[in-house]
Structure 1
Amino acid sequence: MSASEGTYPVRKLSIDFAAKSNRYWFKNRPFETHWFNALSFGIVPAERFAISCIKDSLPLVQEETLKAEARAFIGQESTHSFLHAKCNAELERQGYRFFLHRYCEWRLSKAHWLSRLSGLALTACWEHITAIICEHTLSRFDIFKDAEDPFCALWTWHSAEELEHKCLAHDLYVGTAGGYPLKIGWLLYGTALFVTDFATQTAHNMYRDGRLFDPRVWLGCLRYFFGRQGLFWFAFPRWLAFMHPRFHPGDVDNRALSAFALEQLKTRLKVVGPPAASHGAAD
């Protein structure tokens, strides 16, 4: 089994969501702002699901270093969920709402039907998609110029930590004898859920903002996904890479990118949990 990329502590980010910011906090662009706001709404239930799946898998894990990394993963994801819930409360104050809330809660209520391996496979797939978006956010934008606080700090910190622990769910899946066909099946299902959920929530954000039929916002959508630095061109080959039988998230080393992003926030971060033990070098 390949190693994860290294250690990752649990950090607390100092952030004030009551701080005044532009309604279109991402470079004064409505679409990008609505897209990231949609991601924030969906992150809270998604991370609850991921934490539950990782916890359920721990009795099957024999390797102590992997267990330690799983505990660090749970700590990071719990902190992400907490701060995004605060972010979402601010978004609701601005007039937005989580349109898919009841639907997501219904899906979570049925999650117990999944086997441990299926839950881990779906978590690994969503972590891979999330890591792609986070890598794109940190490498294709100058986030400190393109975004305003407090959202700038939130997405920089979140993206960096997602890249830190991107290997964990996949390592747990492989380490508990997860097979290739099941993983690919959940990739296709998980991708369909991801795309439909966040497209729907983004459209609803645009509707609440009175910009759903604004052609300039839709031009922003085309630019974000299909422009020169577009997410689609960046994401598609990385998404396809997941289908290779020997794929591992650590094949792309994002440690320098993550470290650089965290360095920008060093005065606002406090380590509240110990780093997990590293697996060591990749096999």
Structure 2
Amino acid sequence: MSPTTSASPPIVPREKLDFGLDGDIPKYWFDNHPFKSRFFDAMSTIFPEGERYFISCVRDFRDQVTDPKLLQEIKDFMRQEGQHGIVHTTYNQRLKDQGIDVDMLERIEHHILFDIVRKKVPKKMTLADTAAAEHLTAIMAHSFCEDKTLLANADHRMRAMYAWHAMEEVEHKAVAFDVMQKVAKVNYFQRILAMMIVTLGFNLHALLVTRYMLKVDGFSRWQRTKLWAKGLWWLYRPGGLFMSLFGHYIQYYKPGFHPWQNGQMRSYKLWLDTYNRTGDPIQAGEAVYAAGA
């Protein structure tokens, strides 16, 4: 399938959404499981600074873009990413109330991304990093929303937040890639090198933050060891959370790859129709969950 055979949907920034994040969300909201909950919480702490990094890396090349359609997509991409950061920052306040030093975690991430990577690495490569990270978030979106069993025992508000984030990640999944290919002219080697670095870096970062959170939660060394053994098996076993994505992930390494070769999620239209009808992202998220495979 060529990049032009699968039409991309409009990129629609959605603002001022209410996910009920100020409600009685359990501390271990995912299957009442500390590792699963904290792993997703770790991702939430990564998103605000990560989204700012992605926006900056695409903005580097915006003035070189002459295609009006791509310029509009860049604008909408930046607005969506900015909103993602806002919503996750709201949720992260809950983590602060639980004793997690989110400010410290964000300072470390900001230092790595902006004081080191943005200053030391060529802009072409930081854009390639962004395109790679967008592919990772898009394939996770496909998994989280297409498999009903994955978030079956998650709090419905958190499930809705991640469903919304997933839908918008898929809407703009090709923007950074198109800027990288059409404007920055990143070559194949640079593209796959960036993907390998981002894959390793994302997994390592998320796991280190999870480790920190479980320690703050007061689990003993032995308790953490047992949680880690089961958690890593959940993530990386054959058919596990991440290994189930491998077929979709590895396509990025094909020389002629384009994000829209993978098409749209089956659940996207259902989510969009429900949200447009109700204006309620929680109802939209529940509709997707109820219809999952």
> Normalising to structure 1: TM-score of the pair?
0.86
Deviation at 1:193, TM superposition (A): 1.3
Matches within 5 A, 1:177-192: 177-192=185-200
Q: Which amino acid aligns with 1:208?
A: V
Matches within 5 A, 1:47-62: 47-62=51-66
Given that residues 129 and 195 in structure 2 are in contact (C-alpha distance below 8 angstroms), is that contact kept between their aligned partners in structure 1? Answer: yes
> Secondary structure of the equivalent of 2:242?
helix
The aligned length equals 270
Given that residues 128 and 166 in structure 1 are in contact (C-alpha distance below 8 angstroms), is that contact kept between their aligned partners in structure 2? Answer: yes
**Residues 127-182 of structure 1: CA distance to partner in whole angstroms, max 9, x if unpaired?**
11111222221122456743214322211111111111111111111111221111
Cα distance in 2 for partners of 1:248, 1:46 equals: 22
| 1:232 aligns with one of 231, 237, 242 | 242
Q: Could you say if the C-alpha distance between residues 140 and 2 of structure 1 is closer, same or farther in structure 2, counting changes exceeding 3 Å?
A: same
4+ residue stretches of structure 1 with deviation over 6 A? none
Matches within 5 A, 1:1-283: 2-3=3-4, 5-12=8-15, 13-98=17-102, 100-107=105-112, 108-110=114-116, 111-142=118-149, 145-176=152-183, 177-211=185-219, 213-214=222-223, 217-226=227-236, 229-263=239-273, 265-266=275-276, 267-269=278-280
Deviation at 1:44, TM superposition (A): 0.8
> Secondary structure of the equivalent of 2:31?
coil
Q: Could you say if the C-alpha distance between residues 132 and 103 of structure 1 is closer, same or farther in structure 2, counting changes exceeding 3 Å?
A: same
Cα distance in 1 for partners of 2:84, 2:148 equals: 21
Structure number with the bigger relative contact order (C-alpha 8 A, sep ≥ 6) is 1
Cα distance in 2 for partners of 1:230, 1:113 equals: 36
Given that residues 19 and 150 in structure 1 are in contact (C-alpha distance below 8 angstroms), is that contact kept between their aligned partners in structure 2? Answer: no
**5+ unaligned residues in a row in structure 2: which ranges?**
282-293
Cα distance in 2 for partners of 1:143, 1:19 equals: 23
Alpha-carbon RMSD across the aligned residues, in angstroms, is 2.3
- Percent of residue pairs identical: 26
Cα distance in 2 for partners of 1:155, 1:232 equals: 16
Cα distance in 2 for partners of 1:16, 1:9 equals: 22
| Aligned counterpart, 2:290 | none
Q: Which amino acid aligns with 1:199?
A: L
Q: Which amino acid aligns with 1:11?
A: R
Q: Could you say if the C-alpha distance between residues 191 and 143 of structure 1 is closer, same or farther in structure 2, counting changes exceeding 3 Å?
A: closer
**Residues 94-129 of structure 1: CA distance to partner in whole angstroms, max 9, x if unpaired?**
222335333212121231333332221110011111
> Secondary structure of the equivalent of 1:202?
helix
Cα distance in 2 for partners of 1:144, 1:132 equals: 16
Cα distance in 1 for partners of 2:201, 2:261 equals: 25
Given that residues 14 and 80 in structure 2 are in contact (C-alpha distance below 8 angstroms), is that contact kept between their aligned partners in structure 1? Answer: yes
Cα distance in 1 for partners of 2:149, 2:209 equals: 25
Given that residues 142 and 265 in structure 2 are in contact (C-alpha distance below 8 angstroms), is that contact kept between their aligned partners in structure 1? Answer: no
Given that residues 48 and 89 in structure 2 are in contact (C-alpha distance below 8 angstroms), is that contact kept between their aligned partners in structure 1? Answer: yes
Cα distance in 2 for partners of 1:213, 1:175 equals: 51
Q: Could you say if the C-alpha distance between residues 48 and 141 of structure 1 is closer, same or farther in structure 2, counting changes exceeding 3 Å?
A: same
Deviation at 1:219, TM superposition (A): 4.9
